[in-house]
Copies of this chain bind each other. A is one copy, B any other.
């Protein structure tokens, strides 16, 4: 009854940095039964990071081999390091009937959308430009130039919102979490190509 479709769904949560994606997801995984996709990276672990939980830490050779074998849903090079979403892990969890959450930047989300259009794409927005500036400024000792640069980058990113299925404004954190939860629940009640699955389930309980 809880699960209408027999397979899990992929929820891609994305948006400009400073929107609070991470905080929302942290709350979400406490409250509902979803699995977080773990990325692979070539960067060295930081203190406290756990292999297989924070990231899969792999060497450059291994990462290149994974690229060659098409083992990533998407990957990107950020400065000197590679980051990627392992395809097999995600598909396995979906096949087992688990929902998977993927937290990813906008460029990554657009790549995932191309290879996995069945995913549900959720864009997180900060409550306002003023609040975004406060969040970016509040982080520490960035210069005005750095802050302005981030702000204009963010404005450019927001233009991607129309590529997404849903947009959640992150003002009050609990309110935003509730909205994302509602999206997860509603998506499982959608009448889609899976309608035969719903009817089969209905018949099974005859």
For A130, A172, A182, which residue has the most chain B Cβ atoms within 10 angstroms?
Answer: A182
Cα A178 to Cα B179 in complex, Å, equals 13
Question: A165 contacts the other chain (Cβ, under 8 Å)?
Answer: yes
Kindly report how many copies of this chain are found in the complex they form together: 2
- B199–A189 CB distance below 8 A: no
Residue from the list B129, B165, B178, B203 in contact with A185, Cβ < 8 A: B178
* Residue numbers in B under 8 Å from A182 (CB-CB): 181-183, 185-186, 189
Question: A164 contacts the other chain (Cβ, under 8 Å)?
Answer: yes
- B128–A202 CB distance below 8 A: yes
Query: Interface size of A by Cβ–Cβ distance < 8 Å?
Result: 43
List A75-127 residues whose CB lies under 8 Å from chain B: 122-123, 125, 127
Q: Knowing A4-B169, A161-B191, A198-B161, say if A179 contacts B175 (CB, 8 Å).
A: no
* Closest beta carbon of chain B to A168's beta carbon, Å: 5
Question: A190 contacts the other chain (Cβ, under 8 Å)?
Answer: yes
* Closest beta carbon of chain B to A95's beta carbon, Å: 23
- A168–B185 CB distance below 8 A: no
Question: A162 contacts the other chain (Cβ, under 8 Å)?
Answer: yes
- B202–A129 CB distance below 8 A: yes
Chosen A-B contacts, 23 in total, with CB atoms closer than 8 Å, are A1-B169, A123-B191, A125-B202, A127-B205, A128-B204, A128-B205, A129-B206, A130-B205, A130-B206, A158-B202, A161-B191, A161-B198, A162-B195, A165-B191, A166-B186, A166-B190, A166-B191, A167-B198, A169-B198, A182-B183, A182-B186, A182-B189, A183-B189
* Residue numbers in B under 8 Å from A205 (CB-CB): 127-131
Question: A22 contacts the other chain (Cβ, under 8 Å)?
Answer: no
